[in-house]
Structure 1
């Protein structure tokens, strides 16, 4: 038969100083363990902790209940009673603690802010940006318009109303005068922002950082709250030379002997993007086959591209070699 220990008072427990195990009574198996300090030469207090020594199945095990005096005598006795009740019901407190810890860690891993997710997405997809400028545009748009409003919010807590707050925030002039909201004053910028917000939330949903709908979706969601961009802003196309006037334009262009003018003429002959022209190298030109082999690194699609060169293009290139 186990020895019955008379319950100690809080004052008596406070006076315990000897190293070892001290049964405090009140709950069978409840002990205060006192250990030597790690540095015996210092004046640090002796570490004291509550331990419930009991049986789980046929094995006697120690179960920690916290440090003393952070956990009082009364709190230790109450915790020990709950633990013994759980054991009697067939629950292993050690397994239960691991499950709670795992659940907490999983929960913390999913508690991501919008800023954390946006930066993680940009880092994970850095290879898809067409240029460093493209990456900076993504980052700048979010930093300017999204982070001040939802940057520190958990993505799980962000609603469509929060997205509307971002897209309809006030736009002011340099003098501080209110010009209107972002969606109506800077519609193209707001459109790009909405698309980037949606992409980040798609990333969050796939990674299980949030559940349910994407709060930045346009169809069926934001389109019920915001006017269509086409109804807000009239498209103003860049000025262009009429096709019938191209010949006359080329005559004037060739009078300009700068390398920039020759680059523009080459662009007109080949109908490629200006970036590919600016980054072109002589090693890409096959004069014999009259082909321009543009490497993937010099294209927006990141795919190699072959461009047939006309006699005028070859003549132009030879004039600057």
Structure 2
């Protein structure tokens, strides 16, 4: 039966409870005297309640009209709650049409940069998107970004700069996911790889084979070091130090005096300068200490200063040196592979000691949990042995 309630009765009701009008329409009176309309219904065997608004805003007659609309939807098999949600989402997307992809990218970066390791990561995000994505759809509404636009941004570099293109694709996907979560766009993410772009672009492995950093055979290291020691300038000292410590190029370039304890013969690289985000202690051999002794007094901050005071050497300094030595086929990073090959083939040091010397993250979580130390003294023996190998036949 419909129409059980009257406007006067609705106004007079004070006792908390649910009062039916019929046809699924109910008046809900709360314990604090608040009154609102509720539509109750069952669809596909599932019972649901849908709020229709407060009595102060909607009269009994208006509530009945709302309930009638809901009953008609249910008759057609349409869930009123789901339909209202879709309508609100459509309205949100419509109002967000002025929000561009560039604006969303800025929002994503701002929201996540606090959790990134350093400011350089945020700068890389901005730079890659500005170079490859923004020219194509940066100023378009984020809702308008589709598969064809994403492909337009990626196809030009997918075969020539595959690693960069892969990063750009992932960053576009993250921005679009962020925009969808914020209600700025709807639909599938056109930048997702699995089940989508993988059907349109070749896999990285098919585009080009992975090129490893060129490494010098460890048997040739003593002769190379002998030649290197005859080279003038700070870049040669830096390269010797980098090789002796098996450090990454960036770690050695940015070495600071406040990281080095000459008395204890320890170089402590802070977490923010390490790839794994954890402090790395490097035991310094006598040969490495000798290089540091030669560098003292040149700069108060950086061990290997550049031409500008208070700045380290350029990251191109050692590459230029290799070209001058007519060894342009080598890379500085490749000497880490040389060090690993030497340790594996000529010594009995356990692999975990070698991996820790290279500041590699131990793969096994269980192994990491049980081994809390950094095997420092064993690594000191390893680095002393490496320095001895490097000096074979070299005049020191």
TM-score w.r.t. length of structure 2: 0.48
Matched, 1:166 2:141: no
Which residue does the alignment assign to 2:141? 154
Matched, 1:221 2:196: yes
Which residue does the alignment assign to 1:120? 107
Which residue does the alignment assign to 2:61? 89
SS at match of 2:282: strand
Q: Decide whether aligned partners of structure 1 residues 283 and 189 sit closer, same or farther in structure 2, where only a CA change above 3 A counts.
A: closer
Whether contact under 8 Å (1:156, 1:209) holds in the other structure is yes
Q: 1:262-302, CA deviations, whole angstroms, 9 ceiling, x for partnerless residues?
A: 11111111122222222222221112322111123433444
Which residue does the alignment assign to 1:192? 167
Matched, 1:294 2:269: yes
**Shift in Å at residue 188 of structure 1?**
3.0
Q: 1:173-196, CA deviations, whole angstroms, 9 ceiling, x for partnerless residues?
A: xxxxxxxx4323433332222122
Q: Decide whether aligned partners of structure 1 residues 221 and 207 sit closer, same or farther in structure 2, where only a CA change above 3 A counts.
A: same
Whether contact under 8 Å (1:155, 1:209) holds in the other structure is yes
User: How many angstroms apart in 1 are the aligned matches of 2:172 and 2:271?
Assistant: 29
Q: 1:231-287, CA deviations, whole angstroms, 9 ceiling, x for partnerless residues?
A: 122444443212211111111111123111111111111122222222222221112
Which residues in structure 2 correspond to 1:242-321 (within 5 Å)?
A: 242-321=217-296
Whether contact under 8 Å (2:93, 2:185) holds in the other structure is no
Further displaced range: 283-292 or 136-145: 136-145
SS at match of 2:159: helix
Where in structure 2 are there 5+ consecutive unaligned residues? 1-10, 13-57, 64-86, 297-396
**Shift in Å at residue 87 of structure 1?**
6.0
User: How many angstroms apart in 2 are the aligned matches of 1:194 and 1:188?
Assistant: 10
User: How many angstroms apart in 2 are the aligned matches of 1:277 and 1:255?
Assistant: 20
Whether contact under 8 Å (1:110, 1:208) holds in the other structure is no
Whether contact under 8 Å (1:113, 1:151) holds in the other structure is yes
User: How many angstroms apart in 1 are the aligned matches of 2:231 and 2:188?
Assistant: 57
Q: Which has the higher contact order (CA 8 A, sep 6+)?
A: 2
Q: Decide whether aligned partners of structure 1 residues 289 and 206 sit closer, same or farther in structure 2, where only a CA change above 3 A counts.
A: farther
Q: Decide whether aligned partners of structure 1 residues 128 and 270 sit closer, same or farther in structure 2, where only a CA change above 3 A counts.
A: farther
Question: Aligned pairs, how many?
Answer: 220
Q: 1:12-47, CA deviations, whole angstroms, 9 ceiling, x for partnerless residues?
A: xxxxxxxxxxxxxxxxxxxxxxxxxxxxxxxxxxxx
Which residues in structure 2 correspond to 1:53-92 (within 5 Å)?
A: 89-90=61-62
Whether contact under 8 Å (2:271, 2:279) holds in the other structure is yes
Whether contact under 8 Å (1:118, 1:200) holds in the other structure is yes
Larger Rg: 1
User: How many angstroms apart in 1 are the aligned matches of 2:265 and 2:146?
Assistant: 57
Further displaced range: 125-134 or 222-231: 125-134
User: How many angstroms apart in 1 are the aligned matches of 2:191 and 2:62?
Assistant: 48
Q: 1:51-77, CA deviations, whole angstroms, 9 ceiling, x for partnerless residues?
A: xxxxxx89xxxxxxxxxxxxxxxxxxx
Whether contact under 8 Å (1:156, 1:211) holds in the other structure is yes
Whether contact under 8 Å (2:92, 2:184) holds in the other structure is no
Q: Decide whether aligned partners of structure 1 residues 158 and 307 sit closer, same or farther in structure 2, where only a CA change above 3 A counts.
A: same
Further displaced range: 301-310 or 269-278: 301-310
User: How many angstroms apart in 1 are the aligned matches of 2:290 and 2:59?
Assistant: 91
TM-score w.r.t. length of structure 1: 0.58
